[in-house]
A and B are shown apart, each in its own frame.
Chain A
Amino acid sequence: MTFSFPPAIKRRFWGQVFESPVMLASGTAGFGHELLDLNCLSGVGAVVSKAVTFKPRAGNPPPRLFETSFGLLNSIGLANPGVHHVLQHILPIAADLPCPLLINVAGESVSEFADVVRILESSSVHLGYEINVSCPNVAEGGAAFGVDPDVVFRVAQGVSNATDRPFSVKLTPNGGDIVQSAEAAVQGGASAITVCNTFLGMHIDWRTGRSVIKRRVAGYTSPALLPLVVAKVWQVSNAISVPVISSGGVSCGEDVLQLLAAGADMVQVGTRLMRRPFAAAELMDEMKKLTGE
C-alpha cells in the first residue's frame, strides 16, 4: 500500500473501513463481551479475543503476573474454556459488539489450528482470525512453532484451507527471523501479520535464586519496548505484501501514529488496557489532537 505522512487515523483494512486503527490485543480484552459491561468500546477498531484452543485450558499456576520496574511479566498460559464452549456460550453474547471481532486461535499441533477454525466457522459473529504461533507461556505449540518458517507455512496453509475469512498470523520476536516467518505465513495464505507477541522475560528473586513465575520464563510487555516493535514492523512491512498489525509498546496516541508511520495498518494495544480500560478512546482523542484529523 502507499503511505502518506502523517498517517491517516481512519483505516482501510481487510476490505473494510475502520474509523479507529486501535485493536485490543489478545488476552487483554477477554472475548469482547466483558467490555460491553464496562461500556468501554468507544474508539475500538476491533477486538482480538483471548486465545481459543481445542480443549479447555485451566492456565498456568499463580502467580501469573509480576510487575517489574519498567514493564509487566505475564504467564497466563492460554487459559480458556475450549472452542466448543466459546462457540456455544460466548460468541452469541459477543454478537452485540459494536466493532469487528477477531478470534485468536492457538494449538499444540499443526492440525489443531485448522481444527479449531473449522469448528468456529459455524458462527457468523467474527470477522476473521488471529493465528497465535507465538505464545511464550506454553510447553506445546507456542513460540517454538513461530520460529520455524516451514511450520508457520503449514499452519497458515491449514487455516487457509479451513476458512474463507481473513486471518492474521501472530509471530514471536524471540529467536528465528521474523521476516522469514512472515513471508512463510503469507505464502501459506495469511491475510495479515501481527508483529509481535511478547518478549521472553524473567524476574529472579536474588535472595532465593528463584524466578517469581512458576514456569520461570514469561512474556514481557512494556512501553519501553516501542522502538523494538517499530523496528520489527518496519522490517516486516517492507518485506511482505499483506497488511501488518502491530502489537506492543503503545502507551499514548503518538505511539500509535509512529507505528502507523512505520508500516502498520492497524495497531494493537494491550498492557495499557490493564491501567486504562478506556485506552482506545483516550488514544483516539490524543491522535486527533495531534493530527487535526
Chain B
Amino acid sequence: MTAIRDYECAVKHSEEVLPGVMKVVFDCPEMSSVALPGQFVQIEPSPDTFPVTRRPITINCLTDSGFELLFDVIGRGTELMARMKQGDRVRVLGPLGNGWVVDPGSKWLLIGGGLGAAGFQFLMDSVESSRVLIGASTSDRVISLPASHVVTEDGSEGGQGLVTALISDELLGGADSIAVCGPVAMMEAVWNSIPEKYRDRVQISTESRMGCGWGVCDGCSIPMSGGGYKKCCKEGPVFSGIEIDWEAWKEAGL
C-alpha cells in the first residue's frame, strides 16, 4: 500500500529567492515522515475551475513540520502558485514517484543545471557524503547549496563556462552514484561527457508535462533506450541514464 495522499496543507512561508524563482514552504508533518529524496508533489495552483491539472514540483528539502518547494514561475499555473501566501490552504498530492536510488553509505556526485538543482538539498541531507557541481546561465539562476562548485555561462558567479568543464575523472571515479538534474540539453551534454565506465552509476531526474501524477493517464511518457516508454510520474522521475533514449527524449522538446 502506497503512502500517497491528497493533503490540504497550510502555506507556512513564501518568498521570491531569485528573480522569478519562488520558495514555498508547506506545513505537512505526514509528508515529511514518508517522502524520499527525488520524489515530487502535485500542487493544485488554484481552487477555481482552471487550470484543470496540478503542477508537479520536486521536493527541495524537508523542514521540521513539512517540506519546501523551489520553482520557476514560467506559466499560469506557477504564476498562481507564486501568489500563495502564509496561511493559504492548498491541495497537495504526494509523495509521488520513485526518488533517487540511495545505497547505504554511498558517496554522491550531484550535477545540476540551473533550477534542476532544486531537490539536491533533500538528497544531500539524506546521504553521508556528496560533492556538488552547479552550472547556470547567470548568477540569478544559481541555487545556493553548501560547498558547491559553481560555474556560470556569463561568469557572473564562480568560473565562466559550462558545468561539463567541471566534470573530471577524479570526481566521477570517487563517486558511487552520480545524480544529474537540469534542462534536457544540459543533461545530455553531461551524459555525453561521462566516460562509458562510469555510466552505470548515473541517475537522471526527468520531468514531463503531467496529467495525474500517479500512473493512470499515461501522459508523461519518457522514451526508453530498449524501446517503448516509461511513466515519468510512477516509474520515474529518476531513471538510470542507460535506460533513457536520449535522441527521442530530446526530440520531444520538453
Binary interface encoding of chain A residues 6-29 relative to chain B, with 1 for a CB under 8 A from any of its CBs, else 0: 000000000000000000000111
What would 10 more interface pairs be, CB under 8 Å, given A79-B218, A275-B53?
A34-B215, A34-B216, A62-B221, A65-B53, A65-B209, A65-B217, A76-B219, A222-B52, A271-B53, A276-B6
Asked if A63 contacts B252 (CB within 8 A), the reply is: yes
> Chain A 249-291, CB within 8 Å of chain B: the 1/0 string?
0010000000000000000000111111110000000000000
Question: Contact: B2 with A65, CB < 8 Å?
Answer: no
Contact, CB under 8 Å: A27 / B217: yes
Closest to B2 in A: A37
A61 lies within 8 A of B251 (CB) = yes
Across-interface contacts of A222 in B (CB, < 8 A): 52
The answer to whether A64 and B2 touch (CB under 8 A), given A223-B49, A274-B52, A275-B44, is: no
User: Which of B6, B51, B52, B221 has a CB less than 8 Å from the CB of A64?
Assistant: B221
* B209 contacts A59, C-beta separation under 8 Å: no
A64 touches B212 (CB 8 A): no
- Distance in Å from the Cβ of B91 to the closest Cβ of chain A? 8
Which residue on chain A has the smallest CB distance to residue B211? A274
With CB as the reference atom, state the residue of chain B lying closest to A77: B218
B53, A274: Cβ atoms closer than 8 Å = yes
CB 8 Å contact bits of B7-50 with A (1 = contact, 0 = none) = 00000000000000000000000000000000000001000011
Q: How far is the CA of A245 from the CA of B144 in the complex (A)?
A: 54
Which A residues lie at the B interface, using CB under 8 A? 27-30, 34-35, 37-39, 50, 58-59, 61-67, 69-72, 74, 76, 79, 221-223, 251, 271-278
Chain A residues in 8 Å Cβ range of B74: none
Cβ of A64: which chain B residues have Cβ within 8 Å of it? Answer: 209, 218-221
CB distance from A51 to the nearest CB of B (A): 10
Interface flags for B212-254 (1: CB within 8 Å of A; 0: not) read 1011111111110001110000000000000000001101111
Interface residues of B in 73-111 (CB under 8 A from A): 76-77, 91, 93
Chain B neighbourhood of A66, CB < 8 A: 209
Any A CB within 8 A of the CB of B208 = yes
**What's the count of A-B pairs with C-beta under 8 Å?**
110
- Complex CA gap A30/B91 in Å reads 22
Tell whether, in the assembled complex, residue A28 and residue B216 are in contact, meaning their CB atoms are under 8 Å apart.
yes
Contact A30 B216 (CB under 8 A): yes
Q: Which residues of A contact B172 (CB under 8 A)?
A: none
Decide: B214 and A34 in contact? CB cutoff 8 A.
Answer: yes
Nearest chain A CB to B215's CB is how many angstroms away?
Answer: 6
A-B contact pairs, 12 of them (CB 8 A): A30-B216, A34-B216, A50-B218, A59-B218, A59-B229, A63-B208, A63-B209, A63-B252, A74-B217, A79-B218, A223-B49, A276-B91
**Which residues on B sit within 8 Å (CB–CB) of A65?**
53, 209-211, 217, 219-220
Q: Which of A58, A59, A69, A76 contacts B227 (CB 8 A)?
A: A58
Residue in B52, B222, B249 whose beta carbon sits within 8 Å of that of A271 in the complex: B52
**Once bound together, how far apart are the Cα atoms of A66 and B54, in whole Å?**
12
A67 near B53 (CB under 8 angstroms)? yes
In the complex, the answer to whether A274 meets B6 with C-beta atoms within 8 Å is: no
| Cβ contact of A63, chosen from B212, B216, B253, cutoff 8 A | B253
What is the CB-to-nearest-CB distance from A55 to chain B, in angstroms, rounded to a whole number?
Answer: 13
CB distance from A132 to the nearest CB of B (A): 15
Is the C-beta of B147 less than 8 angstroms from some C-beta in chain A? no
Report the Cα distance A39→B227, complex, angstroms.
32
Instruction: Determine the chain A residues whose CB is within 8 A of the CB of B212 once the complex forms.
Output: 28, 273-274, 277
In the complex, what residues of B have CB within 8 A of residue A72's CB?
52-53, 211
For A61, list chain B residues within 8 Å (CB). Answer: 223, 248, 251-252
A38–chain B nearest beta-carbon distance, Å = 6
Q: Which residues of B are found within 8 Å of A63, using beta-carbon distances?
A: 208-209, 252-254
User: Which chain A residues border B252 with CB–CB below 8 Å?
Assistant: 61-63
Closest to A65 in B: B219
Expressed in whole angstroms, the Cα–Cα distance for A70 and B76 within the complex equals: 11
Residues of B within 8 A of A27 (CB): 217-218
Residues of B within 8 A of A35 (CB): 216
* A29 (CB) vs chain B CBs: closest residue: B216
Smallest CB-CB separation from B213: which chain A residue? A274
A76 and B50 contact, CB distance less than 8 A: no
